[in-house]
Structure 1
Amino acid sequence: MSQGKKVAVVAHGYGAMRGYSGEGKVYLEGISALKERGVDYVIVSFSKPKEGKSAYFLPFRIRRFDKYQRLLVWFPARKLRPSLYLNLSGVPIPLSKIAPHVIYAGGPAIASAPTKYSRSLFWKLYLLPFKSIAKRLAEEARKAYIIANSWYSANLIKEAYGAEAKKVIYPPVDVEFYRNAFSESKEPFFLSIGRIERGKSLENAVRLSAISGVKGVIVGSLGDKGYLNYLRGLSGKLRAPVEFLVNLPREELLEVMKRASVYFHPTVGEHFGIPIVEAMSAGLIPIVPKESGGQEVVPEFSYTTLEEASSLLKQLLNADAGLRREMSKRAEDFSSAKFKSRLYDEISKFL
């Protein structure tokens, strides 16, 4: 890459994106922010993207070992000479000696927050080498310009690296799309959305249904068939009235949102939780863990125990139309357009 006002966008998973994810949305909107302002850029990913200017580690796709891909993308990134690195992969790989390094990050996996990496021996062993390497990156984190995706993440970044986030910018949410599901006429059930994998703690939604006696609907893309079978078995064992809708197209999800009264977020330790805001756009009242970034969005509807969540659920099933409109209005502050504007305001300081 020649010298000039060019940005190297570090997006380790860009070359292997499949479906729709929160991090994928950050990639696309971050790149869009540059495109809309005529800024030249190159994408730096682990696997070769299908199109566009890129630098990559491997010419073929690998979707496993995500944490290690975040480290290995340093090899193609360090060969470039951009005006700025915009690192959307969150890990402080050492680049600031080459050019200013802006990192958009959630809470590091090496921090103490509860995640799937702290819930089983398998994941603890998987993360062990990553932890050893990541701890050595604290100096780079302190040199880089870090933007956190929530205050919750900012605190975890400080804990893990001793580095202060310079700014908090919440992730982009497609609020316009989900507002199409807004309805003041609701049915008495709650909705939970999340990839069907153990790290999402969807069993909390099943247990909430059992404790409260309120029907739950769990919607998610299938990541772990064994976990789905476990959830179904748990639902039967607890006699919880739960319906599972797997790999539901987004347009069909809108129809479910139109009817649901409450959104329950089951993942303790989530750095933000994009489905929370998507549901708010559709007029659902969210119930979120206190131990998460979602608590910053709706602190008044946060829980510590499932018993607290059950009490909130029963109160909110028949929430009035005014509260639903308020939730939808609050969601507007998380739009993609506002994310792009806020992100570009920060990176433009280096261009």
Structure 2
Amino acid sequence: MMIIVVLITFILVGFFIGPINGRRQRKKAVGFFHPYTNDGGGGERVLWCAVRGIQDESHDLDCYVYTGDHDATPQSLMARAHDRFGVTLLSPPKVVHLYKRKWIEETTYPHFTMIGQSLGSVYLAWEALCKFTPLYYFDTSGYAFTYPLARLFGCKVICYTHYPTISSDMLARVRQRSLMYNNDALIAKSVWISKCKIIYYAFFSCLYGIVGSCAHLAMVNSSWTKSHIENLWRVPDRIKRVYPPCDTLGLQVLPLERPAEVPVLISVAQFRPEKAHSLQLEAFSAAIKRLDPSLPKPKFQIVGSCRNKSDEDRLQILKEKAIELNVNEHVEFYKNVTYRDLVALLGGAVAGIHSMTDEHFGISVVEYMAAGAIPIAHNSAGPKMDIVLDEDGQQTGFLACTVEEYADAMVRIVTMSEMERLEMAAAARRRATRFSEQRFYDDFKAAIRPILTPFCK
């Protein structure tokens, strides 16, 4: 009940003050709500490509970025877009600094995290829109609860949704009492607590559907995300699938041939719990034990970014786990690498590992394929439905769920003949061209053009 009261209070305050503020101060600009401009993942790549897309489409609209990173400047963000993601902006984005980001930190809400972060995002968006009210409010981080508030401020609401905050798959796991990063052992073991969580999820799904339907345009990144968002938000005419931008062009110049001495496996993902790095280490350990002792031991390079102390702690735990599994001599960790260094690492890998369950799309999987590294991805959602599919009848990679399945795929790639590996890598590279950065720009501009028509070139 308290949650409902707080939510209604935010909406009522926005109703009485927002439109007045909006009429007086709204500027011919696009405000990108992206509180973490240092997360280094696929979401940040979408942010910078979206900024570039707006700049290409309309010179009359300024681009502002709402960020909680206090050291961010227009010049540093423009440089970051280029250095980390190879995206060249036409001009530096203007910056609006936010100081209430703690209200969307997961650590702020040990329990009822989803609803806590969602309400916290409304508070953060209130700060953002009071500081600067744009004509277009563009959410690139998935904070759907901010959409009613942005509309009350008089903004047109556009969003790029990477994944639904809640989904039927999440409800199913609670019903099945499956143990996962978002369903801990205490809940999974208790019938009564699981039933309470189902009620909580059902209630949250209802709220999520209401706020999401406030978007004037919702772009989604995959077939899996599209089906869930259409089911939840129930505005199918406003939902467009726009595959995320992947640097297939830049990575395709890498030679498919790889150094033969020591095979290299690579994993590229943020150090977040849902990325399941522990499973990767366990699978790598199992794979090494299955390999013929006369063969050279493969190397495993784990590359990722750290957003905060929680991510740093997870990275340290992974290093300790590598020692515990006795594979630390064969595992290398890379934190917050530059885009140039990432390309160099991808160019030496024979396989790329991805292990997140229900990864909404999987930019890293596409990058593996474009770079010539055969993907081993989780058998669910984006990789299963959109990416790791046969190309011209040729297998493009492997799908796996368990430690054993991942280990089997690792052994299979490391021991296959060079000709077989090259054939599969070439097919994977052809498949990756379907998700190019240019394809993103084409689909992105086609989606936003009807809304931006008064300001298009």
1: CA distance, partners of 2:143 / 2:202: 11
Are residues 1:238 and 2:325 paired? yes
- Taking the aligned partners of 1:71 and 1:299, their CA distance within structure 2 comes to 39
1:39 positional shift: 4.4
CA shift for structure 1 position 292 = 3.1
User: What's 1:326 paired with?
Assistant: 427
- 63 and 286 in structure 1: CA distance in 2 versus 1, 3 angstrom threshold: farther
Q: What SS does the aligned partner of 1:190 have?
A: strand
Contact 2:65 2:95 (8 Å CA) reproduced: yes
| 1:204 to partner: Cα distance | 1.3
User: Which structure 1 residue ranges, 5 or more long, are not aligned?
Assistant: 122-128
Please give the per-residue CA displacement for 1:129-172, whole angstroms capped at 9, x wherever unaligned.
Answer: 99977853422322423221112222332455455472211111
- Residue 294 of structure 1 deviates from its aligned partner by 2.0
SS across alignment from 2:246: coil
Q: 1:65 aligns with which of 98, 102, 105?
A: 105
Match of 1:103 among 136, 159, 182: 159
Kept in 2: contact 1:56–1:73 (CA 8 A)? no
Distance 1:239 1:264 in 2: 20
Higher helix share: 2
1:23 Cα deviation after fit: 1.5
Aligned residue among 203, 228, 236 for 1:156: 228
The root-mean-square deviation of aligned C-alpha atoms, in Å, is 3.7
For 1:219 and 1:136, the matched residues in 2 are separated by 36
Contact 2:258–2:349 (8 Å) recurs in 1: no
Task: Give identity over the alignment, percent.
Answer: 19
1:297 aligns with one of 356, 370, 387: 387
State the Cα deviation string for residues 166-205 of structure 1 (Å, max 9, x = none): 2211111222333343332354332111223333210111
- 3-state DSSP class of the match of 1:269? coil
Deviation at 1:45, TM superposition (A): 1.5
1:179 aligns with 2:252: yes
Aligned residues: 344
CA distance in 1, matches of 2:239, 2:338: 37
Q: Are the aligned partners of 1:183 and 1:259 in contact in 2 as well (CA < 8 Å)?
A: no
The DSSP-based 3-state class of the residue aligned with 1:268 is coil
Q: Where do residues 269-284 of structure 1 align in structure 2 (5 Å cutoff)?
A: 269-284=358-373
Q: 1:185 to 1:72 in 2, by over 3 A?
A: same
8 Å Cα contact 2:27/2:133 also seen in 1: no
Counterpart of 2:210 in structure 1: which amino acid? E
What is the alpha-carbon distance in structure 1 between the residues aligned to residue 38 and residue 103 of structure 2?
9
Of residues 322-331 and 311-320 in structure 1, the stretch that sits farther from structure 2 once superposed is 311-320
Cα pair 1:96 1:140 within 8 Å, conserved: no
Q: Which has the larger radius of gyration?
A: 2
Query: Aligned partners of 2:406 and 2:93: how far apart in 1?
Result: 47
Deviations 1:197-220 (A, max 9, x none): 333210111111122226332122
Letter in 1 for 2:245: P
The 1:119/1:275 distance shift into structure 2, 3 A limit, reads farther
* TM-score normalised per structure 1: 0.81
Work out the CA distance in 2 between the residues paired with 1:55 and 1:181.
36
**Quick check: 1:11–1:45 contact (8 Å CA) kept in 2?**
yes
